[in-house]
Structure 1
Amino acid sequence: MIVAFSVAPSGAPADAEARLPADGSVSAAVAEAVRVVRASGLPHRTSSMFTEIEGEWDEVFDVVKRATEAVAPFGSRVSLVLKADIRPGFAGELDGKLDRLERAIGAPSA
């Protein structure tokens, strides 16, 4: 499966040291989540809006949970947006789906 997720804190954190900057940037909090994803060893890709991670159900959702927990100290709430592509029997789809798209874009129209 592939899961695309975005996680961000909001609200005032209990620990004043973890307070978000005045400009509202959540980059430090998101960096903590991405560190969890990278340390997982699962195939992943991060863009400006989402992180995609590929693997089996339990291992992917364990990483999403730990990434969400890593953001929690930065606010009193955490927002998690998640989309999953569950396709049993397929692996390497982070790149495979894009490869098929690029071939389709390059193919002549019918």
Structure 2
Amino acid sequence: MIIAFSVTPIGAGEGVSEYVADAVRVVRESGLPNSTDAMFTSIEGEWDEVMAVVKAAVDAVAAKAPRVSVVLKADIRAGVTDGLTAKVAAVEEKLAGQ
């Protein structure tokens, strides 16, 4: 499965990059395939391992912020691996063929 999620500290002021960095650090240290862009961090793996990483990332932000908002989107597709790169590669291939 692939989970795309964002964690936002509430009540922590306007600049939140320090908090986001704490969450992304947890994801990267998990060893699971992941990518981060301006809006979401995506992580790929089995349900329990991915959800444990999301929880740990939220906990890292909650350790410093009085309140945390989480947005989560999941793509659950049995038998698929390397979806983080394969999905993007398929689109890029189509674009290159135009």
TM-score by length of 1: 0.84
Structure 2 residue runs of 5 or longer lacking an equivalent are none
Secondary structure of 1:31's aligned partner: helix
Q: Distance in 2 between matches of 1:73 and 1:60?
A: 20
The offset of 1:106, in angstroms, is 2.4
Which residue matches 1:95? Answer: 85
Name the aligned partner's letter for residue 4 of structure 1.
A
Q: Among 76, 79, 85, which residue is 1:86 paired with?
A: 76
What number of residue pairs does the alignment pair up?
98
Q: Distance in 1 between matches of 2:30 and 2:63?
A: 20
Name the aligned partner's letter for residue 6 of structure 1.
S
Q: Distance in 2 between matches of 1:31 and 1:39?
A: 12
Question: Percent identity of the aligned residues?
Answer: 56
Name the aligned partner's letter for residue 35 of structure 1.
R
Secondary structure of 1:74's aligned partner: coil
For the aligned residues, what is the CA RMSD? 1.1
Which residue matches 2:53? Answer: 63
Secondary structure of 2:21's aligned partner: helix
Greater Rg by CA: 1
Whether 2:73 is the aligned partner of 1:76: answer no
Q: Distance in 2 between matches of 1:59 and 1:41?
A: 11
Pairing of 1:30-49 with structure 2 (within 5 A)? 30-49=20-39
The answer to which of 68-77 and 43-52 deviates more is 68-77
Structure 1 residue runs of 5 or longer lacking an equivalent are 12-19
The offset of 1:84, in angstroms, is 0.6
Q: Distance in 1 between matches of 2:90 and 2:73?
A: 20
